Amino acid sequence: MKKQYFGTDGIRGRVGETPITAEFMLKLGWAVGRVLGRHGSGKVVIGKDTRISGYMFESALEAGLSAAGANIRLLGPMPTPAVAYLTRALHASAGIVISASHNPHEDNGIKFFNADGTKLHDDIELAIEAEIAKPMETVSSADLGKADRVVDAAGRYIEFCKSTVPSMMDLSGLTIVVDCAHGATYHVAPSVFEELGANVVVVGVQPNGLNINADCGSTAPAQLRDTVMAHKADLGIGFDGDGDRVVMVDHLGNIVDGDELLYVIARSRQDNGKLKGNVVGTLMSNLGFEHGLKALGITLDRVNVGDRYVMERLVDKGWTLGGENSGHLICLDRTTTGDGIVSGLQVIAEIVLSGKSLNELKSGMVKYPQTLINVRIQQRVDINAFDSVSAAVIAAEARLGDSGRVLLRPSGTEPLIRVMVEGRDEAQVQAEAQFLANAVREAVEAHCA
């Protein structure tokens, strides 16, 4: 069956527009309570990021869950991975996160975790949607769910994060800039690094409900880079609004993305004999990352874009390490979901244990230049069905050889064909991307004429 509301990562949209309305969230809370709240402990935990609409949706979900007879434990502002951890730690039946991740404050969304702290399976999401379609019925007064606040939620998660690195690791002597994007990590991440001994300079820790992800954090790291340079810091670490993504900045001011961070972690795990299986990336993972891993004898296994697909491949194969160049990294040997703080700590642990800088650790791989051109189309088409486009791709790939690659894919949200080319030579990459974009444009225009 096709899902009506759930996307690849929960439900997301513009606040005030269906389904991101208070009315829908009331019904959603009730449906979740019906499907998940009556299994196991019957408790459902709710966390949120710092955007202003979180208050409204938290109350609506709480009312719906209570009407279905589920008990609620409110976490307040907490990173998405913290909700996954606390769902397990508090023996809850499910965890709910109110967040639109790296999106601006005008958007919001809902993510879910099962009792194991992992994303819901498709059959559970379909069951929730089936309940949403039914008339809402409230249980008897004696069976209504109760709500209470978990007052030590932040402290519990801080201790968990610290437990993912060696217990004797000391960050004394390191100056680290921490950019929390005015998001859910603002009261957690600085404490993690301070308690491990680092001198911490904070950025983006004054949320007002409207400034989440605004020119800061992992999606806009310029401020992080400038602060690292101004303070002559050893490194900077930036998170997105809900704390599941991370990027870093080295002491020279270079932005270090998810591919490079994953490379550092993979090499560290391999050196310690703890890398299990292949590393999982996506179709957008940089070719330089793949070649860097290959030089270490590590295979990159590519899946479709989206952390959901990375996780599915890791679980299916029993592997432990994967992620996206956006900085959504998954270390299943440490936790159950993408976690910016935990992933960042794995990199910093290698810096401390190796005595090398972040710049030195990432130098084993060289990112290849990449050009992305969006070709707007009038109607959705199967771009692979055009012989002229296929011939253009074959020609471009032949010219690039083993030192480059081509990717054509439709946007999942807009009427666009995304043309991506990457390779060693930047001028050639740009030329081939333009060549392919023209071929796509001409084929689509001829088809629609």
Nearest residue to 420 via CA among 358, 364, 374, 352 = 374
The burial of 296, by beta-carbon neighbours within 10 Å (0-12 exposed, 13-18 middle, 19 or more buried), is given as middle
Catalytic position from the list 101, 285, 326, 343: 101
CB 14 within 8 A of CB 106: yes
- Helix, strand, coil proportions of the chain in percent (round to 5)? 40, 20, 40
Instruction: For the chain, give the longest Cα–Cα distance.
Output: 72
Helices 80-89 and 340-354, interaxial angle, to 10°?
100
Q: How far apart are CA 73 and CA 93, in angstroms?
A: 11
Q: Is the peptide bond before 410 cis (omega within 30 degrees of 0)?
A: no
Helix 340-354 vs helix 258-271: angle between axes, to the nearest 10 degrees? Answer: 50
Cβ atoms of 336 and 84 within 8 Å: the answer is yes
357 noted as active-site residue: no
Residues in Cβ contact with 199 at an 8 Å cutoff, skipping those fewer than 6 apart:
174, 175, 176
**Nearest-angstrom CA–CA distance, 349 and 404:** 33
Single-letter amino acid code for the residue at 98: I
| CB neighbour burial string for 80-101, b if at least 16 within 10 angstroms, e if fewer | bbbbbbbbbbbebbbbbbbbbb
Task: Return the active site residues.
Answer: 101
